[in-house]
């Protein structure tokens, strides 16, 4: 009797594919997150980041805001990496500017795009201020950028 070969599918696709997205979306900058494109976005990001990490090791993923969180949480889960969540403001229930790990030595920043650079600078500045040791950003993964530039403030861009 032949054994049946079962092909493993992404747990992300398996659970979400049957869900129809029928709601109107109010935000215009998170199209990929609130659509079926998200099912392709996460596996593609994992592939790109895994290859980058082989040459540029890091031990955490840093992000801020909903655009960073949307991709940072699934990446953290699938890549088995802790998160560094930079809070948007100091008026939160936690009372600290960082939630998550505070012990990483090198981290990857995840965001949708760079417009003014304020978000990236805030992430780096907050980590530098809050960590008791020096932590270094090794790259910025932009999942929705149409700009093609190699670095921002001397931090390599992965897109």
pLDDT in tens, 82-103: 999 998 775 656 678 888 998 8
Residue 68 lies in a domain: yes
Give 78-145 as a 3 state SS string: HHCCCEEEECCCCCCCCCCCEEECCCCCEEEEEECCCCCCHHHHHHHHHHHHHCCCCCEEEEEEECCC
Edge to edge, the sheet with strand 151-152 lists 98-100, 83-86, 60-64, 106-111, 136-142, 155-158, 151-152
Non-local CB neighbours of 105 within 8 Å, separated by 6+ positions: 59, 133, 135, 136
Residue 72, pLDDT score: 95
Residue 38 lies in a domain: yes
Residue 110 lies in a domain: yes
Range of the structural domain that residue 104 is part of: 33-158
Residue 16, pLDDT score: 43
What distance separates the 2 farthest-apart alpha carbons in the chain? 64
The percentage of residues in the chain with a pLDDT greater than 90, rounded to a whole number, is 45
pLDDT mean across residues, the chain: 81
Residue 64, SS3 per DSSP:
strand
Long-range CB contact pairs, 10-15, < 8 A, 24+? 10/39, 10/42, 10/43, 12/39, 12/42, 12/43, 12/74, 13/39, 13/43
Residue 54 lies in a domain: yes
Residue 15, pLDDT score: 44
Residue 51 lies in a domain: yes
Residue 14, pLDDT score: 47
pLDDT in tens, 24-73: 555 555 665 656 677 788 899 999 999 999 999 999 999 998 888 989 99
Measured CA to CA, the distance from residue 83 to residue 103 in angstroms comes to: 11
Our count of domains for the chain comes to 1
Residue 97 lies in a domain: yes
Write the CATH number for 45.
Answer: 3.40.50.2020
Residue 17 lies in a domain: no
What global pTM score does this model have?
A: 0.78
Residue 100 lies in a domain: yes
């Amino acid at each position: 009797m032949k054994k049946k070969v079962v092909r493993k599918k992404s747990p992300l696709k398996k659970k979400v594919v049957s869900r129809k997205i029928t709601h109107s979306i109010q935000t215009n900058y998170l199209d990929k997150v609130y659509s079926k494109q998200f099912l392709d976005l996460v596996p593609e990001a994992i592939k790109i980041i895994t290859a980058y990490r082989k040459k540029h090791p890091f031990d955490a993923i840093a992000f801020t805001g909903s655009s960073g969180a949307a991709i940072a949480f699934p990446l953290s889960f699938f890549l088995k990496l802790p998160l560094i969540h930079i809070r948007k403001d100091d008026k939160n229930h936690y009372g600290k500017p960082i939630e998550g790990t505070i012990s990483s030595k090198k981290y990857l920043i995840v965001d949708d795009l760079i417009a003014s650079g304020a978000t990236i600078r805030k992430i780096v500045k907050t980590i530098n201020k809050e960590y008791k040791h020096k932590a270094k950003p090794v790259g910025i993964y932009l999942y929705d950028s149409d700009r093609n530039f190699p670095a921002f403030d001397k931090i390599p861009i992965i897109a």
